[in-house]
Structure 1
Amino acid sequence: MVPSGVARHATGGTRSAGGSTRAVTRTLSDDPLGGTVRRTVLPSGLRVLTEAIPAMRSVSFGIWVAVGSRDETGPQGGAAHFLEHLLFKGTRKRSALEISSSIEAVGGETNAFTTKEYTCYYARVLDEDLPLAIDVMCDLVADSVLNDADVETERGVILEEIAMHDDEPGDEVHDLFARAVYGDHPLGRLISGTEETVTPMTRRQIQSFYRRRYAAPQIVIAAAGNLDHAAVVKLVRQALRGTPLDTDPAVPAPYRPASPAVRTKPAATLVEPKETEQAHVILGCPGIDRIDERRFALGVLNNVLGGGMSSRLFQEIREQRGLAYSVYSYASQYADSGLFAVYAGCAPGKVDEVLELTRAELHRVAAEGITEAELARGKGMSKGSFVLGLEDTGSRMSRLAKGELLYGNLMPVDELLRRVDAVTLDDVNGLAADLLGRPMSLAVVGPFDESAFAASR
C-alpha cells in the first residue's frame, strides 16, 4: 500500500527473470525546499538515492539495511546489534584501526545504529572526501571478516552495554513498556539482546545472519550534500565490485508489509523494583502503524498532549504543580503496529498523583477532544519541526533512506506539509476518542513492587 498522493517509484529498463540487466536511474524530485533527488537501481537490486545540495560543503553517506531486531528468532536475540558492532572490526582490505583512522584523518565521523526494523551505517565528511567515505563504508558493510577474536572482544563490549543500560532506569522503562504491550513478540524484546542470548552466540551464527540478511535487494544507500549522483553511483559500484554484494540481477525487496497486524497483549502492569531516587513511569497503549492515514493527525494530537512545553501534560504536571521534571508523550510506529504513551520521571511519592492527572487528561481529550487553537498550534509544531529538521545533510540523507526503505516512496516536502495542513479537528478528535479510550498498560521502574499498582489495573 502506498499513501495517497504519493507516486510509486518507476523503475523502467529491461529486466531479465531476476531483475534489471542494467542500472536504472530516475529523478524523483527537484524540491524547492531542497535539492535534486535521484534514484538508481543497480542490477543487483541495491538502490542508491542522492540529494544534491550544492550550497553545502559536506556530504552525509549512509548504508541502510532492512533488517533489525524484530527479524531475529528468540535464540538470536541481539544478533543484528552484535553484527553492527562487528562490521567495524575489519575487512579483507582494512583493519579496524584503518577503518576509523582513514575517516578521522580527514575530519570525518562514522557511526552506526540498530533499530527494531533496520540498521544504518553512516559517515559524514567534507564533499571532497566523499570517495573515501564511500569506499570505506561499502567495504565494511559488504566484506567484513568477522574474526573469532573480534567476536569475543565485542561480546564483552556488548555485555557491558547491556549492563550500562540496566543502570539507566529512564531507558529501561521504555523497554519494559514495550514488553507489556508486545510480550515475547520481537517488538517487545531488547534490541541489544540479553546476557542469556549474547553470551552463547557464536561466530558461525552471526556469520549466517550476516550473509542471509545483508543481501543487495535489502540495502538502500543514501547520500545528501554537495555531490553528483552519477559519480556516487559509479563509486558505489566500484567499491562493491567483487564483494558478496556484487550479485546476479535481482529486484529490490519490497518494504515491510503492514499486515497481518501484530497481536498485542491485554493491558498489563509491569514493575521493575529498583532503589532509585526517581521513579520512571510510562502509561500507554497500542497505537497505529507507519502507513496509517491517521499518522498526520497523530502527530498533531501528540504535540497537543505532551509534545512540548505548551502541551497539556507539561503545563498541568510540571508547570502548574511541579510534580515532575520530565513529562512528555510520544508515538512509535512500525510496519504493522505502533505505540502511544506518556512518560514521566518524578519522586516515588508523587507517582500516584502523576498517574491520576495523566489518566484524567487522557480521558478528557478522548471525551471532549482538543480546541481549534490547539489544532493550529499542533499543526504548526509538526510542520516546523519537520522543516527545521532538514537543515543538515544527515537528516536529509536519513529522509531519503527511510522514504525508500520504510514507505517505498519519497514524499515531497511540500506534499507532507500539505498533508499536515489538511488535518481537521474532526480527524484529531476522532483519533483521540479511539486511541485514548483503549485499555492502558503501565510500566514502572522504581522502589516499588507490583502490589503497589494493583488498584490501577
Structure 2
Amino acid sequence: MSQHLPLVGAGQPGAELTAGQDGATIRRTVLPGGVRVLTEEMPGLRSATVGAWVGVGSRDETDGHHGSTHFLEHLLFKGTSRRTALDIAEAFDAVGGEANAATGKEHTCYYARVLDDDLPMAVDVITDMVTSARLDADELETERGVILEELAMTEDDPGEVVHERFAEAVLGAHALGRPIGGTADTIRAVPRAAVWDHYTWHYRPETLVVAAAGGVDHDRLVAQVGEALVAGGWELDVAGVPRARRASEPQTDGLPTEGVRLIVHRQVEQANVVVGSTGLSATDDRRFAMTVLNAVLGGGMSSRLFQEIREKRGLAYSTYSFAQGHGGLGLFGLYAGCAPGKVDEVTTMMVDELERMAHDGITAAELERSVGQLSGGLVLGLEDSGSRMSRLGKSELVHGEIMTVAESLDRIRAVTADDVRDLAADLASRPRSIVKVGPFDPRGEQ
C-alpha cells in the first residue's frame, strides 16, 4: 500500500512518516535543529547514494556575495579541521566510490555513491565537509583560478551561452536571472570574508536535508547523521524547525515588461537560438500539463519541432523545448542549433509550432503518445539510487511532498488536450524574448 507523503509542516523534530514505493520504502525523520533525513530503501541493492542538500542557491546571494554559492561547492572539497583535500579524495577512491557536488539556483548538493557497507564513511566525510569546511585563504585563491577557467570554458560553448543569456533576458534583474556560477567579474571580486559569511549564514541545521537511496537502513542513517553533525560542531537545538520552503506565489519584481532581443557574437560555424518567455513555478498545478506540452512540442524524435525542423526540412541537428520551474517563477523556451543563415527561418518555425498548439491544441494520438513517453521515462529514470536520492532531496526542498510513482503517473494521465492547449495559449501570450549566439554583428546581420 503506497502512502502520499506531505512534507510541509510534517511535524516536530523526530516525526517520522513511511511509505511503500515500487517495493522500496521511503522514510523521513526531522532531527533536533530542523535537519531532515529522508531515505528510500531499495531491496537487493548493494550500492547507496547519499546527498547533503543545502537550501541555498545563486538566487540567495546578496550584493558583495555574488558567486559565493559556486565558490563553496568547490571549497568544501578542499579540507576541513579533520581532513585535507587529499584525505577526502582518497576516502572515496579507496572504496571505488564517487563523490561530487552541484550548485543550482535554489539549492546545493554534495553527494556520493558507494557500496552499502561504505555508507557510514560517506556520511561522515560529506557531513564533515558541510559542517567544518576551513575555506583556507590559499586554497580559495587557487580555486578562484579554477573557477575562472570553468567560466571561460562555459563562455566557449555557444550552447551554454545561449541558455544563460536567455535566462538573463527573460528574468532581467530578478535574482533567478543571474548565472549559477557567477561571472568572471564577481568571482574575481568576491573576498574570502564574503564567502565565509555566506557559508556560516546558510549552512545551518534548518537548511540541511540529508537524502539517501539504495541499500540504506533509515534508523542507522539517522543515528549516523546526528552523530556526525554533533562531531562537526553544530548545535542541534531541540526547538529548531526546518526552514520553510520558498513561496510559490508568482513573482514579477525585476522582470522585463516586454520581450528582449539579444544577439551575442561568437565566431562559430553553427548558430544557437532560444526563443521563449517566463514559464511555470515548480509547484504550479499545471506542471504536469507542461510535461505533456513539452513532450508533444519538443521532447523527442516524434515531437513537432524535431519532425518539422529536422526530419522534414533538415534545418537543424538539435531542436527541442524545455521548461525550468523555480520558487514563484519559471522559464519556458524553444531551442535550435542551425546554420547562421537559417536562424530567422528556424525561429519562425518554432514560434509557429507553439502558436499552432495554442490555437488548435494537440491530437488524441499525440496525447496518448506523450503520456506513454513520460510514463516510461519516469519509471526508467528511477532505476538507480542516484536519481531516487535526487528525487527525495528536491521533493523536500522544492515541492513539499513526495509523490509515489503511481501518483505521478496518475497526474500525468489526468492531463487533457484542453489543458495543454490552454497552457500553450498562456505561454504564447507572454512577452517573448529571443537570444541568438553566432557570427552576427550587433544589428543581427551576418
Q: Distance in 1 between matches of 2:144 and 2:103?
A: 16
1:36 match: 25
Q: 1:416 to 1:244 in 2, by over 3 A?
A: same
1:224 aligned to which of 209, 213, 235:
213
State the Cα deviation string for residues 396-453 of structure 1 (Å, max 9, x = none).
1111111111111111111111111111111111111111232310011111134227
2:165 match: 176
Q: What SS does the aligned partner of 2:125 have?
A: helix
Q: Does 1:321 align with 2:310?
A: no
Shift of 1:54: 2.0
1:299 aligned to which of 274, 291, 298:
291
Q: What SS does the aligned partner of 1:26 have?
A: strand
State the Cα deviation string for residues 315-360 of structure 1 (Å, max 9, x = none).
0000111101110000011111111101100111111211121122
Q: Does 1:85 align with 2:74?
A: yes
Q: Distance in 2 between matches of 1:450 and 1:383?
A: 44
Q: What SS does the aligned partner of 2:276 have?
A: strand
Q: Distance in 2 between matches of 1:450 and 1:130?
A: 54
Q: What SS does the aligned partner of 1:199 have?
A: helix
Q: Distance in 2 between matches of 1:34 and 1:81?
A: 37
Shift of 1:262: 3.3
Q: Does 1:248 align with 2:248?
A: no
2:438 match: 446
1:16 match: none
State the Cα deviation string for residues 30-56 of structure 1 (Å, max 9, x = none).
12x141111110011000000111211
Q: What SS does the aligned partner of 2:6 have?
A: coil
Q: Distance in 1 between matches of 2:234 and 2:371?
A: 43
Answer with 345-354 or 106-115: which moved more. Answer: 345-354
2:262 match: 270
The unaligned stretches of length 5 or more in structure 2 are none
Q: Does 1:415 align with 2:407?
A: yes
State the Cα deviation string for residues 51-71 of structure 1 (Å, max 9, x = none).
111211100000001000000
Q: What SS does the aligned partner of 1:56 have?
A: coil
> Do 1:77 and 1:191's aligned partners in 2 also have CA atoms closer than 8 Å?
no
Q: What SS does the aligned partner of 2:34 have?
A: coil
Q: What SS does the aligned partner of 1:162 have?
A: helix
1:155 match: 144
Q: 1:98 to 1:42 in 2, by over 3 A?
A: same
1:7 match: 6
> Aligned pair count?
440
Shift of 1:177: 0.4
2:351 aligned to which of 339, 359, 363:
359
1:405 match: 397
Task: Give the counterpart letter for 1:252 in structure 2.
Answer: P
Task: Give the counterpart letter for 1:212 in structure 2.
Answer: W
Q: Does 1:288 align with 2:260?
A: no
Q: Does 1:343 align with 2:335?
A: yes
Q: What SS does the aligned partner of 2:436 have?
A: strand
Q: Distance in 2 between matches of 1:93 and 1:130?
A: 19
Task: Give the counterpart letter for 2:282 in structure 1.
Answer: R
Q: Distance in 2 between matches of 1:428 and 1:178?
A: 24
Runs of 4+ in 1 over 4 A off after TM superposition: 8-13
Q: Distance in 2 between matches of 1:208 and 1:297?
A: 41
Q: 1:180 to 1:73 in 2, by over 3 A?
A: same
Task: Give the counterpart letter for 1:374 in structure 2.
Answer: E
1:17 match: none
Task: Give the counterpart letter for 1:231 in structure 2.
Answer: R
Shift of 1:274: 1.3
Q: Distance in 1 between matches of 2:94 and 2:5?
A: 42
Shift of 1:381: 1.5
Q: Does 1:207 align with 2:199?
A: no
State the Cα deviation string for residues 49-105 of structure 1 (Å, max 9, x = none).
001112111000000010000001243221100011000000011000000111111
Task: Give the counterpart letter for 1:380 in structure 2.
Answer: G
2:86 aligned to which of 97, 102, 110:
97
Q: What SS does the aligned partner of 1:451 have?
A: coil
> Do 1:280 and 1:343's aligned partners in 2 also have CA atoms closer than 8 Å?
yes
> Do 1:284 and 1:342's aligned partners in 2 also have CA atoms closer than 8 Å?
yes
Task: Give the counterpart letter for 1:331 in structure 2.
Answer: A
The unaligned stretches of length 5 or more in structure 1 are 14-19
State the Cα deviation string for residues 122-162 of structure 1 (Å, max 9, x = none).
00000111111011111011111111111101000001111
Q: 1:354 to 1:182 in 2, by over 3 A?
A: same
Answer with 218-227 or 251-260: which moved more. Answer: 251-260
Answer with 349-358 or 102-111: which moved more. Answer: 349-358
Shift of 1:245: 2.9
Q: 1:126 to 1:259 in 2, by over 3 A?
A: same
**Cα RMSD (Å) of the superposition?**
1.5
Alignment of 1:419-438 (within 5 A): 419-438=411-430
1:57 match: 46
> Do 1:54 and 1:227's aligned partners in 2 also have CA atoms closer than 8 Å?
no
> Do 1:257 and 1:335's aligned partners in 2 also have CA atoms closer than 8 Å?
yes
Q: What SS does the aligned partner of 2:32 have?
A: coil
Q: 1:180 to 1:9 in 2, by over 3 A?
A: closer
Shift of 1:24: 3.1
Q: What SS does the aligned partner of 1:49 have?
A: strand
Answer with 134-143 or 72-81: which moved more. Answer: 72-81
Q: Distance in 2 between matches of 1:423 and 1:372?
A: 12
2:16 match: 25
Q: Distance in 2 between matches of 1:143 and 1:7?
A: 32
> Do 1:284 and 1:442's aligned partners in 2 also have CA atoms closer than 8 Å?
yes
Task: Give the counterpart letter for 1:113 in structure 2.
Answer: A
Q: Distance in 2 between matches of 1:288 and 1:275?
A: 34
Q: 1:6 to 1:339 in 2, by over 3 A?
A: same
User: What is the aligned-residue identity percentage?
Assistant: 53
Q: Does 1:128 align with 2:128?
A: no
